[in-house]
Amino acid sequence: MSDNQREFEKHLLEIMTKFKNGQATDAEIEEINLWYENQASNEGYTDGMSSTKRAETKQKILFRIYDRVHHTAAPVAKIDVYKKIKIFTLAASIFIAIGVGLYFQFAEQKKYLNDTTAVHDVAPGNNKAVLILANGKKISLEDLSEGQIASQAGIRISKKANGQLVYEATESTESTAFKPEFNTIEVPLGGQWQVILPDHSKVWLNALSRITYPLHFTGKERNVKISGEAYFEVAHNAQMPFKVQAGHQIVEVLGTHFNIMAYADEKLIRTTLIEGSVKVSQGKATKLLVPGEQAQVGKEGITVTNEVDVEDVVAWKNGYFKFDENLEAIMAKVAKWYNVEVVYQFKPDPNSIYEGKVSRSKNISSLLKIIEFNGDVHFKIEGRRVIVTK
C-alpha cells in the first residue's frame, strides 16, 4: 500500500472513530457519506461486481471486522454489506468495518476517481425522436407538449405525458376507405422513444433506430419496417399476422413480446423472443423460436441459440445497462446512448469479458467506473470522445 493510500485510510478511520464517539462534525459526516455512496452505491460499485468478487469482498469486510473493530469473529448472517444506507443510519462499528473494507477494495481506484473522467462527464440520452408524416412533414417530438399532434386519414396522433406517441382511430375510420399512407419515427443518437401503433401494438425504440408503419393495417398482414433496435409487444390478431422487416430478415408473429437488434454496424441481426412464438425468415430459410431463444441472421444463414440472457437483451428497454460481454460490444451500446465517439489506443481482446449493471439515467462516468473495476482498461473523456487505454 502506498503512503498516499495509508494517509487516506487513516483520515477515513479518524472521522469514523469521531462519528462513533459522537464527535464528528456535519462536514465530516457529509464527507464520509459522499465517499461511501460513491464507492458502494447499488448502481455503481456493487452492481459492477461479479458474484465471485462480491463473495471475496464480503469475506474481506468480515476480516476487517475481526481484525480492526471487535477482535472477534462476526456472524455472517447478521451483516448485509450491500444495503444502500446513509451513514447516520448505520451502526458505528459495522460502518467502520464496511468503510475500511471498501477502501481496501478501491485503493487502486483512487487515482481514477480523482482524474478527468470524474470532472469531464457526459449526460445520458433522453426521450427524443422525429416523426415524419405521410406528407413528408417532420415534427420534433421532444419539443411538443402533451396532446394531439396531427390528424391523418382518420387517425388522431397524440403525445402522452410519459412520452409515448399514440395512434387512435376517429369515429369515421370504420366507414371510410383510405389510400395507404405511412409514418416514420426516427430516433437519433442519445435518444429513445415509445409508440403505440394503430393496431394497439407497443414499440420501444432504442437510440439510432427507425420504424416505418402504415396509418391503417389492411389486408391479410400487418407490416412494419425497422432499423436499429426495437422491442415489440404485439397486439394479438390471429387473422392478421404481424410482420417486421429488419434488413434481410422477416419476423412473423401473431401476438408476442420480442426484441430485434438490427444496427448497420453489427454483423448479425439478433431477434430474441421473450414471450409467445415467432418465425424468423431469410430467403427460403425459416426458424421457429420459443421463449428464451435468439435467432442470429447473417450472410451464412440463420442460427438459433438459447445461450442468451434475456435480461441483458432487454435491459435498455427497462432503463439500464446490463452486460456480460467483450469491451467493443459494450462500448458500441455506450456510444449510441451517450452520443460519443469511442477511440481505442490498443486492440481490445474479444475474449475478455466484462460484467456490470447501471442505470441508463446515470452519467457516462458511472458506467465507465464499472468497466474499469472489472478489467485492466482505463478511460478518459474529452468532450464527446471517450479514449480507451490500457
pLDDT of residue 96: 45
Say if 268 falls within a structural domain. Answer: yes
Instruction: Say if residue 160 is in the same domain as residue 300.
Output: yes
Instruction: Burial-class residue 53 by CB neighbours within 10 Å (0-12, 13-18, 19+).
Output: middle
Rounded Cα–Cα distance for residues 99 and 45 (Å): 13
- Write the CATH number for 286: 2.60.120.1440
For 98, the grid coordinates are: 464496511
187 belongs to a structural domain: yes
Would you state the pLDDT for residue 332? 96
| Domain identity same for 301 and 358 | no
Q: Report residue 217: phi and psi, to 5°.
A: -85, 115
Decide the pairing of beta strands 257-262 and 378-382.
unpaired
Residue 280 pLDDT exceeds 90? yes
CA distance 305 to 292: 9
Do 142 and 290 lie in a common domain? yes
Geometric angle at alpha carbon 200, from 195 and 201, rounded to 5°: 65
Of the pLDDT bands very low, low, confident and very high (cuts 50, 70, 90), residue 9 is low
Looking at residues 20-32, what average pLDDT do you find? 67
The whole-number pLDDT of residue 275 equals: 95
Residue 189: pLDDT above 70?
A: yes
pLDDT tens sequence across 30-46:
666 655 555 544 434 44
Kindly state whether residues 106 and 178 are assigned to the same domain.
no
What pLDDT digit, counting tens, does each position of 257-279 carry?
Answer: 999 999 999 999 999 999 999 99
Is the confidence at residue 58, as pLDDT, over 60? no
Considering the domain architecture, whether residues 208 and 331 belong to the same structural domain is answered as: no
Whole-number Å distance between alpha carbons of 355 and 326? 9
Q: Which of 83, 114, 145 is the last residue of a domain?
A: 114
Q: Which cell is 224 given?
A: 412494419
What percentage of the chain exceeds 70 in pLDDT?
68
Which domain covers residue 382, as residue numbers?
Answer: 319-389
Supply the pLDDT for residue 343.
97
**Cβ–Cβ under 8 Å, residues 142 and 128:** yes
Residues 6+ apart with CB under 8 A from 377: 327, 348, 371, 388, 389, 390
Cα separation of 237 and 225, whole Å? 19
Indicate whether 341 pLDDT > 70.
yes
C-alpha 142/C-alpha 163 separation (Å) is 8
Domain shared by 38 and 163, yes or no: no
Q: How far is CA 14 from the centre of its chain?
A: 39
- Which pLDDT score is estimated for 116? 40
Mean of the per-residue pLDDT values of the chain: 78
**pLDDT score for 204:** 98
Residue found under cell 450472410: 299
Where residue 87 falls among pLDDT bands split at 50, 70, 90? Answer: very low
pLDDT tens column, 202-216: 999 999 999 999 998
Residues 225 and 373 in one domain: no
Residues 151 and 289 both lie in one domain: yes
Phi-psi region of 208 (alpha: psi -120 to 50; beta: other; left: phi over 0): left
Secondary structure string (H, E, C) spanning the chain? CCHHHHHHHHHHHHHHHHHHCCCCCHHHHHHHHHHHHHHHCCCCCHHHCCHHHHHHHHHHHHHHHHHHHHCCCCCHHHCCCCCCCCHHHCCHHHHHHHHHHHHHHHHHHHHHHHCHHHHCCCCCCEECCEEECCCCCEEEHHHCCCEEEEEECCEEEEECCCCEEEEEECCCHHHCCCCCCEEEEEECCCEEEEEECCCCCEEEECCCEEEEEECCCCCCCEEEEEEEEEEEECCCCCCCCEEEEECCEEEEECCCEEEEEECCCCCCEEEEEEECCEEEEECCEEEEECCCCEEEEECCEEEEECCCCHHHHHCCCCCEEEEEEEHHHHHHHHHHHHCCEEEECCCCCCCCEEEEEEECCCCHHHHHHHHHHHCCCEEEEECCEEEEEC
- Counting the structural domains of the chain, the total is 3
Task: Say how far apart CA 367 and CA 383 lie, in whole Å.
Answer: 17
Task: Identify whether residues 22 and 55 lie together within a single domain.
Answer: yes
Cα dihedral 61/66/72/76 (nearest 10): 10
Least confident range from 84-93, 170-179, 188-197, 283-292: namely 84-93
The answer, as to whether pTM is greater than 0.85, is no
Residues 89 and 149 in one domain: no
For 95-150, write each residue's pLDDT tens digit. Answer: 444 444 444 444 444 444 444 444 579 999 999 999 999 999 999 999 888 888 88
